[in-house]
Chain A
Amino acid sequence: MPYQRAKFYQVGSFAVGNRLLAPSERTVQSSLARTNSLTSGHRACQGCGEALAARYVLDAAMAATGGKVVVVNATGCLEVFSTPFPETSWRLAWLHSLFGNAPAVASGVAAALKAKGRADVRVVAQGGDGGTVDIGFGTLSGLFERNDDVLYVCYDNQAYMNTGVQRSGSTPPAARTATTEALGPEPGNVFGQGKDLPAIAMAHGIPYVATASVADLHDLEYKVERAMAFRGARYLHVLVPCPLGWKSATAETVRLARLAVESGLFPLLEAEAGEVVAVTPLRHRVGVEEYLRPQGRFAHLFRGAGRPDIVARIQQVADRNIARYGLVQEAGE
């Protein structure tokens, strides 16, 4: 970890305690001067993790660049709920073109700024997991490969929520979606599929890749700030619970995001030039069941006798992540 985290062990969370910090160490979100890049009045569902993450990320990017950010947005929930014409919730320069081309459009914006000598203006592109790992994957890989000066942010809620919760290449195994129903002997999404986009981004050797969670605001803001310190292609992958698609209580969004991290299913990491340089160790490790149970999309794993066999397979996925990234440090280490 290249920075010293403030520790608030007494409450078990990093999300509180700003008032205990020196003003310079407080989050951007805690400041009255934050941009509110995605301001109130938009049409996101109650408890939307994506709306939360988008504001966190863009306010941090605006703070890091002195307000010189241009945003390119892929089609999806975020675009639809934020701009029902003639209203817009964006308090920054914002462009939406298509579902699968946000990375390429962002490359175009970056090229235009370069041609015009506007090195002060920075480009952030953003989309959901469908727009990132599936339909926009080709253009995203092109952006990475050319190392264009863009921060691309994926808000991953693990399915196509905007069209009614269909499976994407980011849907986890066993999760129920409208196209992977909880039916038959292997209910929900199948095992052994899907893309690990942070790893794919790292394989491009781009300057900076990180994962972040809406449950860890300090860490998320640090990673955005860090990303803006680099030139070239950067990738930030944020897990954003979706009460609609995950069939979870709207008050549970941040808790579920934290459990995803603490179970080891969503490791928090940073990589530079293709190499992992930092991970967030699990201070308080939980079993995957604690994360899965509150989510209706996994209800079929716990109904009646339940499916302990499937839960065990998901636990294996978490264990593999923990071992791979060294998320649990042995005592005395």
Chain B
Amino acid sequence: MRQIEGSQAVAEAVAACRPEVVCAYPITPQTHIVEAIGAMVRTGRLANCEFINVESEFAAMSVAIGASAAGARAYTATASQGLLFMAEAVYNAAGLGLPVVMTLANRAIGAPINIWNDHSDAMAVRDAGWVQLFAEDNQAAADLHVQAFRLAEDLSVPVMVCMDGFVLTHAFEAVEVPTQEQVDSFLPPYEPRQVLDPDDPVSIGAMVGPEAFEEVRYLQHAKLVRALEKIPQVAEEFYHSFGRYAGGLVSPYRTDDAHTVVVAMGSVVGTLKDIADQLRQKGQKVGVLGITTFRPFPAAAVREALWGARVVVVVEKAFSTGFGGVLSTDVATAMGPLRAPIATVVAGLGGRPVNAASLAALIEGSERGSLEKVTFLDLNRPVVDRELERMGARRRSGPSAENMLRDVASQAAAQEG
């Protein structure tokens, strides 16, 4: 166990996986990870690795695509705007079946520009054909990366490890950093399915018309469905090699007899476990279902964990504008015949602290049916209402974000005065 920053722990875990090409473009909050890997390449601690400072995230993913197609183990990291800027290449890596591994240091998407944590970035590419794993804490973040390379190369699909920006990337926690010996015994050298080789030339990335496109897409889907079996197997093997459990599809906490089950992804799961313990002390049967694998979505495992629930609350750090929860929609579909009402709590957008007391109060009331279909946690209602009023009154009501910031500032000043 070492007291270590999340980003450093991830960098060491990735380095232990012996990547051969690492490309880096700076975007907060993933910078510390690639900086640390770059330093390890410089000192020679990470040998046989090309570290490339590229000119954009679009290039970062493209370099990873080229490297992977040429048979190298390729890694990069990004966040937020960077992920959107590389989105075309994100889809392309999946379409080509290249086992690239990428860290996504989850961060909000602008405008308004915001460097802090939420899950909007990951949700924006959920249909790209990548495996998306979410880390609850920094131990999980480090361990998931080791599993990610294994999964990616076994299945020939790219894997994204999502870890909450700042909340995890910049947090110092005690982490059992995967050692070189452990990783070597768990992760064999990369053996590509097809490779650019002048001695055995193939054409990769050909045009596919209507006669076969559906079949190509179906195979991509089938691979991700297979991942639902593979992910628990890899987690099991990881347990045998490392002596600790990490990964898997879902992580249920006190769900067996729970009347209320709260579903969530990422670091907020830890907060929710505390809330569950707290509410159980008051006699309310609350459990938590952490979603580790978001894509492919583990519908059967989710349904099983929610079997006895009377109320399901999904806490999400993202939502589909104009509709509601993203994860909630998947959970509702997965529940199928289960009749428990499901409510969405949107929380922690753009780094807004998830207030445990507010959240606990919402969950406490959920069994009495007090939760609306979609609730925005700790929404500053007066400020929103004033802006809505302004917008209704005048066509040129000005930029909303700036108007509301001014209102929030004057509210704060009034409270002080």
Contact = CB atoms under 8 A, between A and B. Distances in A.
A and B are partners in one complex rather than unrelated chains: yes
8 contacts: A83-B205, A93-B198, A105-B69, A107-B52, A107-B54, A111-B63, A112-B70, A139-B56
A200 to B, nearest CB: 15
Interface stretch (B88-96, B272-280, B291-299): B88-96
Contacts of A110: 66
Interface stretch (A63-71, A261-269, A276-284): A63-71
Contact of B206 (A92, A96, A146): A96
Interface string A54-89: 000000000000011110110000011001111010
Contact of B21 (A68, A72, A115): A115
Interface string A93-117: 1111110110011111111111110
B66 A93 contact: no
A138 interface: yes
Contacts of B67: 108-109, 111-112, 115
Contact of B56 (A70, A80, A94, A138): A138
A115 B23 CA distance: 13
B202 to A, nearest CB: 6
A138 B88 CA distance: 15
Nearest to A80: B207
Nearest to A96: B205
A69 B198 contact: yes
Contact of B204 (A68, A96, A101, A148): A96
Contacts of A84: 206-207, 209
Nearest to B86: A101
A290 interface: no
Nearest to A110: B66
Contact of A116 (B65, B72, B74, B88): B72
A94 B88 CA distance: 20
A251 interface: no
B155 to A, nearest CB: 20
B207 A104 contact: no
Contacts of A148: 52
Interface of A: 67-70, 72-73, 79-80, 83-86, 88, 90-98, 100-101, 104-116, 121, 138-139, 141-142, 145-146, 148
Contacts of A67: 198
A139 B52 contact: no
Given A70-B70, A73-B205, A112-B68, 19 more contacts: A70-B197, A70-B198, A72-B66, A90-B201, A92-B201, A94-B196, A95-B69, A101-B62, A105-B63, A109-B70, A111-B23, A115-B21, A116-B20, A138-B58, A139-B55, A139-B58, A139-B59, A139-B62, A142-B55
B262 interface: no
B33 to A, nearest CB: 19
Q: Most chain-A Cβ atoms within 10 A of its Cβ — which of B48, B54, B202, B207? A: B207
Interface residues of B, number: 43
Contacts of B96: 97
A115 to B, nearest CB: 4
Contact of A112 (B21, B58, B62, B92): B21
Nearest to B212: A85
B72 A142 contact: no
Interface in B176-201: 196-198, 200-201
Contacts, number: 161
A110 B20 CA distance: 12
A148 B267 CA distance: 40
B201 A91 contact: yes
A107 B53 CA distance: 11
A172 to B, nearest CB: 29
| Binding site secondary structure of chain A | mixed
Contacts of B58: 100-101, 104, 138-139
A109 B50 contact: no
B212 A98 contact: no
B206 A108 contact: no
B72 A95 contact: no
A118 to B, nearest CB: 9
A108 B48 contact: no
A92 B198 CA distance: 6
Contacts of A85: 206-209, 212
B121 to A, nearest CB: 20
A298 B96 CA distance: 42
A108 B64 contact: yes
A146 B207 contact: no
Q: Most chain-B Cβ atoms within 10 A of its Cβ — which of A79, A91, A111, A141? A: A111
Nearest to B195: A93
B76 to A, nearest CB: 10
B38 to A, nearest CB: 14
B177 to A, nearest CB: 24
Contacts of A113: 70
B89 A146 contact: no
Interface in B195-229: 196-198, 200-209, 212
B91 to A, nearest CB: 9
Contacts of A70: 70, 196-198
Q: Most chain-B Cβ atoms within 10 A of its Cβ — which of A84, A105, A110, A138? A: A105
B201 A116 contact: no
Contacts of B247: none
A68 B207 CA distance: 25
A97 B209 contact: no
A79 B203 CA distance: 11
B49 interface: yes
Interface in B332-379: none
